[in-house]
Structure 1
Amino acid sequence: MWFLLYCEGTRFTEKKHQISMQVAESKGLPKLKYHLLPRTKGFTTTLQCLKGTVSAVYDVTLNFKDNQTPTLLGIVHGKKYKADMCVRRIPVEEIPEDEQECASWLHKLYQEKDALQENYNKEGKFPGPTIIPPRRPWTLLNFLFWATLLLSPLINFACGVVVSGSPLLIIGFILFLIIASIAIRRLIGVTEVKKTGSSYGDQEAKKQN
């Protein structure tokens, strides 16, 4: 089994970063340039609960080429994004068991991640050997299978509408597709980082809650 944990607890925005670095300064921690301070409680608790179940922690840092910012709408439009991923395997035995020491270890890890990001911005790549995974045809075949299975009723209905020759039915179906397309775009729009996320460090929001 594997467990995915996003230690920063929320998505990165400039406002949240400023608040996070104010917290870092108040706690005497080094400031981070590209990350928020990790929330250590969730990590330390997870590690304690999974002791004896997992053998390692995988630290993953992801960057997109040419400073691209992927969006779901861009993916829907078929836009291609190229990314580099740095993965480091850390055996659980190397991570302190004490809660305070584990929290300090996590802060140090994020300082290393920040330095790694700085190096990527300068060099355009991560240090170390580069591995380019081969193309996986089974992934494409799996996608085509499920797409065909799930979309076949809609395709059959569309063919029936066209064959019927009814102008009213055809116009109604086209309007349905247009409305559905607009609705999907609006739903995707509300997932933008600037419109969502937690009230990280926002005292006013906490007072309202």
Structure 2
Amino acid sequence: MLLSLVLHMYSMRYLLPSVVLLGSAPTYVLAWGVWRLLSALLPARIYQAVDDRLYWVYQSTVLFFFENYTGVQMYLVIFPEGTRYNPGQTKLLSASQTFAAQQGLPVLKYVLTPRIKATYVAFDSMKNYLDAIYDVTVVYQGKDNKGEREESPSMTEFLCKECPTIHIHIARIDKKDVPEEQEYMRRWLHERFEIKDKLLIEFFDSPDPERRNKFPGKCVHSKLSLKKTLPSLLILSGLTAGMLTTEAGRKLYVNTWLYGTLLGCLWVTIRA
């Protein structure tokens, strides 16, 4: 019974970061709302500076768990494929390859055929603020004992440290090298995924054992220090705990969580 209890407690380790991150979201929203009201008569640069700082505090809280609680770094990226590659979803892979063949595009083995819309809209909206974009290729683990590629881990598996190794290949692309017309960008994006596919074929299937299970280029390991993430965690957690100690604070907290979620979903629907 003791062993079962230990195993269950270990499997629930992801609850702590989930509760803290979700629980502090209303606090962040309230702090942002108050600042927006207070800064209505202030210069835009002052509002923007504090707004950026508030966002940095919340993101640092997220990074605290990924860097110090799970030992896994976190990256925010656009997935032009529209979904995660899963070797077990043969119908999805077959449909992706069939679409590429119908469009006269090279058929890809280890990645799905990319879609252009999200990438085009994001780049077109932000091109005046960028000097480059980064093409990131991520491999979780490797092949299992049968020589088959393993499925990507879930968030729960990340938080329970069931994914000990992640390989990340990053290519920097100058903004001037990215086509601005949507049709040209479509071809360029597929060419980037052809490069990804070749990288993964070499990673998984290279006949040279020295080149297998690794990306080309210099290997760099980077980790954020505890002092950069712990203060943000303590600030948001302390503010949230303080709100929950009073009846008025609890009502405000629950209402923010409930109506904020509904309004957020409505806003996303309208913008879509």
Q: Taking structure 2 as the reference length, what is the TM-score of the superposition?
A: 0.49
* Greater Cα shift, 13-22 or 105-114: 13-22
For 1:124-180, what per-residue CA distance to the aligned partner results, in whole angstroms no more than 9, with x for missing partners? 110011112146223563587379749979xxxxxxxxxxxxxxxxxxxxxxxxxxx
Residues 1:8 and 1:80: Cα distance change in structure 2 (over 3 Å): closer
For 1:28-79, what per-residue CA distance to the aligned partner results, in whole angstroms no more than 9, with x for missing partners? 1110001111111222232222221111111101112344542233244443
Counterpart CA distance in 2 for 1:61 and 1:47 is 19
Counterpart CA distance in 2 for 1:130 and 1:136 is 20
Residues 1:53 and 1:76: Cα distance change in structure 2 (over 3 Å): closer
Counterpart CA distance in 2 for 1:134 and 1:76 is 17
2:188 maps to what in 1?
105
Counterpart CA distance in 2 for 1:60 and 1:83 is 12
Asked whether the 8 Å contact 1:56–1:89 carries over to 2, the reply is yes
Unaligned runs of 5+ in 2: 1-51, 53-74, 144-149, 207-211, 243-272
Determine what percentage of the aligned residue pairs are the same residue: 27
* Greater Cα shift, 62-71 or 97-106: 62-71
Counterpart CA distance in 1 for 2:130 and 2:118 is 16
Q: Taking structure 1 as the reference length, what is the TM-score of the superposition?
A: 0.62
Query: Greater Rg, structure 1 or structure 2?
Result: 1
1:52 aligns with 2:141: no
2:112 maps to what in 1?
36
Asked whether the 8 Å contact 1:70–1:81 carries over to 2, the reply is no
Counterpart CA distance in 2 for 1:34 and 1:80 is 20
2:164 maps to what in 1?
81
Unaligned runs of 5+ in 1: 154-209
Alignment size in residue pairs: 153
Q: Give me the CA root mean square deviation.
A: 3.0
1:127 aligns with 2:210: no
Counterpart CA distance in 2 for 1:138 and 1:144 is 10
1:114 aligns with 2:209: no
